[in-house]
Structure 1
């Protein structure tokens, strides 16, 4: 496993991390603690040391799975979680951005993760109107000084106009040192709208959804229909098929033979040194091993 320095934080993180949204029950499967333990055991074996989770992947459910899985060696992991939302039900969340609300979320995350500190605490997919809240950032800075939060980050959604550019530009101003960005071979918007600021401000970058919600794994073909309890089913079938046709083109025209598409797609994200770590979701130990292959490929493949 290769490691990169996470911007100006000084943290040495594995170039492949573990994303954990799936453990909250919104990807067509419900998980048990032994299943999550097996994923984390394999991550240890592969040298992975960064885990990304969130307050609303279930009602702190993903955090609880993670907390129990790494309790025995918590100090060896870099744990990133998020704030700003409360899970009610499947794809039903309240957005809660006041200092009082975030204080409760932070306390619940610490409890769920079975820890006394969070290495990376991230503003979670909020619009600019709630981002511009000096009282909130002042409160979070106090938690950093108290040692409860190690570093602040911004997990940016691409779904609202102007958010990517604005929040990237404002990162250092609000005390954030890390950006989590949607970035993959099918979605390259950060290259134009954020990477310049990341270099200028020396921000660490976590590549979110680097396999395009599994589409870049190569497992799915046009015509695939996802179950109603899978978050991907909420896209139009036309959009799903269009993206999967593009995946087939990439497989045919851009990929060398003899490697897995998932490892290739992760290595593609890492080809630019501005990206510190990719955080694909891992359903089982085999996926962890397959994703870890990207560490070696990132330094050897030549990309078109």
Structure 2
């Protein structure tokens, strides 16, 4: 395991984060406690130190299990949890959403389940469409000043809202927004439009959920396996268009050439883009497979093939800028000679 400095923080995190969404059976699909313990222990033995959970995962069971697993070495862990969706199906109006009240209530409950007095990172799980961004940023600042969380991040938020929160925090002297969590994989690259450039501009720690495209990039659905499609009743990505088919074809071809599993190719691609993947194994075998991805690096030729197979149009204004920028950046013409160009 290798480590990275996480954005503009001083946190030193392992290059693979362990997502604990499958710790428990509260959703009717996941890992029993013994299996979850094995997953956690093997991840730690491999040098992993970055754990990602949420109050909503398995309706609190994930946090409860982690509270037991971390006993005796809590301070060695970079622990992240989330709030917004409520920790039970009957969470109600006051224990869900992004409000200051929901945040405080959720964090207090998470700390009890996790048997700790602080979180290294609190994610706002996703926007509720109601709470003003200044209330959100100030509420996170209050929790940081109280010592109950050390850093704050936004998950599944649009880039403009994250940028607004980061700018407000800087202007007001509040604790900064430190991180962004987003979906990113070979079959879901739309974060490259706004989210990843924004994160780079603000030097935010950036983590990706579903680096395997919900299992699509492992090739298991082509083999007839059902996985979460049957157990959880949710499929993040299906092979439902020509681009996705081309991506899976390219991943499988490179995996065969390199003598590695397709999952290693998919995870290595995310790492090559400078984004930290969150792996979310349900079984110990899945974890050991994911960890082997750290032993594999894509060649420049393989990276190019994957980029080309998964290419998509960024849309306006990115395509216009890409077409026009080379002329603007040429630097060979005097301004007086610069031709007038139409971008339409």
- Fold equivalence (TM over 0.5): yes
Report how far residue 26 of structure 1 moved.
Answer: 6.9
Structure number with higher strand proportion: 1
Corresponding residue of 1:296: 295
Distance 1:107 1:87, change over 3 A: closer
Q: Contact 2:30–2:282 at 8 Å: present in 1 too? A: no
State the match for 1:160 in structure 2.
none
C-alpha displacement of 1:65: 1.3
What are the superposed Cα offsets for residues 89-118 of structure 1, whole Å, 9 maximum, x if unpaired? 49x997332222221100010011111100
Structure 2 CA distance for partners of 1:207 and 1:62, relative to 1, 3 Å = same
Residue aligning to 2:205: 204
Structure 1 distance, partners of 2:231, 2:283, is: 19
* Structure 2 counterparts to residues 28-107 of structure 1, below 5 A: 29-89=29-89, 95-107=96-108
Q: Once the two structures are superposed, what CA deviation does each residue of 1:184-236 show, in whole Å capped at 9, x if it has no partner?
A: 11000111221111111111101111111122222221766566551425x7x
TM-score between the two structures when normalised by the length of structure 1: 0.85
Q: 1:222 to 1:295 in 2, by over 3 A?
A: closer
User: Does residue 169 of structure 1 match 2:163?
Assistant: yes
TM-score by length of 2: 0.76
Which deviates further from its counterpart, 281-290 or 183-192?
281-290
1:81-230 paired onto structure 2 within 5 Å: 81-89=81-89, 95-130=96-131, 132-156=132-156, 163-173=157-167, 174=169, 175-221=176-222, 229-230=231-232
State the alpha-carbon separation in 2 of the partners of residues 103 and 193 from structure 1. Answer: 30
Output the CA distance in 2 between the equivalents of 1:263 and 1:125: 29
Listed as ranges, the gaps of 5+ residues in structure 2 are 170-175, 305-344
| The structure with more radius of gyration | 2
Cα deviation for residue 294 of structure 1 reads 2.4
Distance 1:40 1:219, change over 3 A: same
Query: In the TM superposition, what is the alpha-carbon distance from 1:241 to its structure 2 partner?
Result: 3.8
RMSD (CA atoms): 2.7
SS at match of 1:151: strand
**Aligned-partner SS, 1:180:** strand
**Structure 1: 5+ residue stretches without partners:** 157-162
Structure 1 residues 54, 103: closer, same or farther in 2, change over 3 A?
Answer: same
